[in-house]
């Protein structure tokens, strides 16, 4: 059994009679200790999906369908109390903007110690010591002194290190990192990715790394899930996707990265005409068809989705369904909601 299984996830906005799906039919799984990348342009539903895993989709958004199973339990059916315990011990989350989860009015060491005290039941004194140790562990120089800093007194990279300390303090089995390095300069980005990789290995954690940057994903992940317009359009081992991308959207994403080497972040703009779909704009056919250079009539009529538990490399494209020799994907005709 996988550590995490997201199945047929649908997240809606809008009114109950005129719902607009921002995420639809999304499914993937993560094994214990595995690093999975979630990639797609801005607006493709990556953050909503990762928030749903934490049970954090908030009004006006709502999970309208699907299940999220962590170690045999459906996160979507947890009571508020179970959810709090789940977030405290089993899953950690890092956001793009560390300010969103650090309080500006408390010293970072005190915040970290309080989290440790509440979540791990340490005494105040032990929690204070553990906080300094954790700051040291995540590479904060002079951690004793830095523990007395307020968040605004730290650099962006140091704040993200503090967030990593928070998110990994309880040694969760899964870490969700939503664009953790997007706001950082290239050098700091490399250091933070290296720290994440190290923490992941040392703690044996699984990780879902969300990024719009294929370079970051290629460097860090075992497997990748490609999202477009709230759907998963392709998934597979990183090497398969990199060497033989199937979905036209994945091909376009890859074409925007000149060469993928560790430490290399040279980028070209995404070679895609047109705009990503508006919320609820696609009602029929392939979500990518309006921007796809290979699209033909059928693509606007036949809805594509990935097999729930099929081959490792799958593509939701009529023209290039999956990697060589693998079976055809099931087609759902129509798809009018």
Ligand X SMILES: Nc1ncnc2c1ncn2[C@@H]1O[C@H](COP(=O)(O)OP(=O)(O)O)[C@@H](O)[C@H]1O
Q: Which of 40, 180, 215, 290 binds ligand X (CB under 6 A)?
A: 40
Backbone angles phi, psi at 249, to 5 degrees: -70, -40
- Name the segment binding Mg ion (CB under 5 A); options: 6-14, 46-54, 106-114, 144-152: 46-54
Restricted to residues 274-293, the positions that interact with ligand X (CB under 6 A) are 279
* In the complex, least distance from residue 199 CB atom to ligand X, rounded to whole angstroms: 23
200 contact, one of Mg ion, ligand X, none, CB 5-8 Å limit per kind: none
CB-CB neighbours of 32 under 10 Å:
14
Residue 169 interacts with which of ligand X, Mg ion, none, CB < 5 to 8 Å by class: none
Region class of 325: left (phi > 0), else alpha (psi between -120 and 50), else beta: left
Question: Residue 205 and residue 1: Cα distance in Å, rounded?
Answer: 16
Instruction: Considering the complex, state which of residue 47 and residue 200 has its C-beta at the smaller distance from Mg ion.
Output: 47
Least Å distance, CB 42 to ligand X, is 4
Buried b (16+ CB within 10 A) or exposed e, 20-30: ebbbbbbbbbb
User: Which one among 2, 7, 13, 76 touches ligand X, defined by CB under 6 A?
Assistant: 13
- Could you tell me if residue 139 is left (phi over 0), alpha (psi between -120 and 50 degrees) or otherwise beta? left
Bond from prior residue into 186 cis (ω within 30 degrees of 0): no
Give the interface size with Mg ion as a residue count (CB under 5 A): 1
**Shortest Cβ 210–Mg ion spacing (Å):** 7
- DSSP code of residue 274: S
Binding flag, residue 46, ligand X (CB under 6 A): yes
Q: Which of 44, 69, 111, 115 binds ligand X (CB under 6 A)?
A: 44
- # chain residues binding ligand X, by CB under 6 A: 13
Q: Give the residue, chosen from 42, 293, 294, 309, that forms a contact with ligand X under the rule CB under 6 A.
A: 42
In Å, how far from its chain's centre is CA 199?
17
Angle at the Cα of 242 (from 240 to 247), degrees rounded to 5?
85
Q: Report if residue 47 touches ligand X, rule: CB under 6 A.
A: yes
Cα angle 9, 15, 19; round to 5: 40
Stretch that binds ligand X, among 36-44, 121-129, 218-226, 250-258 (CB under 6 A): 36-44
Helices (H), 122-174: 124-137, 143-146, 156-168
Q: How far does Cα 77 stand from its chain's mean position?
A: 21
Residues 59-98 as x/- pattern, contact with ligand X by CB under 6 A: -xx-------------------------------------
Binding ligand X (rule: CB under 6 A), the pick from 5, 12, 24, 43 is 43
Residue 207: Cβ within 10 Å count: 25
Q: Name the residue among 21, 24, 32 with its Cα closest to residue 7.
A: 24
Q: Select from 39-47, 126-134, 189-197, 256-264 the region that touches Mg ion (CB under 5 A).
A: 39-47
C-beta separation of 183 from 96 below 8 A: yes
Span from 45-53, 133-141, 163-171, 279-287 in contact with Mg ion (CB under 5 A): 45-53
- Confirm or reject binding of residue 47 to Mg ion (CB under 5 A): yes
Strands 223-228 and 35-39: parallel
Q: Minimal CB distance to Mg ion: which residue?
A: 47
Min CB(28)–ligand X separation in Å? 14
Q: Which residues bind ligand X (CB under 6 A)?
A: 13, 22, 40, 42-48, 60-61, 279
Q: Which residues bind Mg ion (CB under 5 A)?
A: 47
């Amino acid at each position: 059994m996988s550590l995490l299984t997201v199945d047929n996830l649908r997240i809606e906005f809008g009114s109950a009679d005129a719902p607009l799906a921002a995420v639809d039919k999304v499914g993937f799984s993560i094994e214990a200790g595995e690093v999975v990348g979630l990639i797609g342009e801005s607006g493709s539903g990556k953050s909503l999906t990762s928030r749903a895993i934490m049970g954090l989709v908030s009004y006006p958004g709502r999970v309208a369908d699907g299940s999220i199973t962590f170690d045999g339990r459906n996160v979507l059916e947890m009571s508020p109390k179970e959810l709090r315990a789940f977030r405290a011990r089993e899953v950690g989350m890092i956001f793009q903007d560390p300010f969103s989860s650090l309080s500006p009015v408390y010293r970072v060491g005190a915040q970290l110690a309080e989290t440790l005290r509440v979540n791990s039941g340490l005494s105040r004194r032990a929690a204070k010591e553990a906080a300094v140790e954790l700051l040291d562990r995540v590479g904060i120089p002079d951690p004793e002194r830095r523990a007395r800093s307020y968040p605004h007194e730290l650099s962006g990279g140091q704040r993200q290190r503090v967030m990593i300390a928070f998110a990994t303090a309880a040694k969760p089995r899964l870490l969700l990192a939503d664009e953790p390095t997007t706001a950082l300069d290239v050098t700091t980005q490399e250091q933070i990715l290296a720290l994440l990789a190290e923490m992941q290995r040392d703690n044996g954690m699984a990780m879902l790394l969300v990024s719009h940057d294929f370079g970051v994903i290629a460097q860090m992940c075992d497997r990748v899930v490609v999202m477009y317009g709230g759907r998963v359009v392709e998934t597979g081992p990183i090497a398969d996707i990199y060497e033989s991308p199937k979905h036209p959207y994945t091909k376009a994403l890859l074409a925007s990265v000149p060469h993928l080497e560790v430490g290399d972040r040279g980028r070209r703009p995404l070679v895609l005409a047109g705009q990503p779909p508006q919320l609820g704009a696609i009602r029929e056919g392939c979500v990518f068809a309006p921007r796809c250079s290979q699209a033909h009539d059928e693509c606007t009529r036949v809805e594509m989705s990935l097999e729930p538990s099929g081959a490792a490399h799958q593509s939701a494209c009529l023209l290039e369904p999956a990697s060589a020799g693998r079976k055809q994907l099931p087609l759902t005709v129509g798809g009018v909601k």
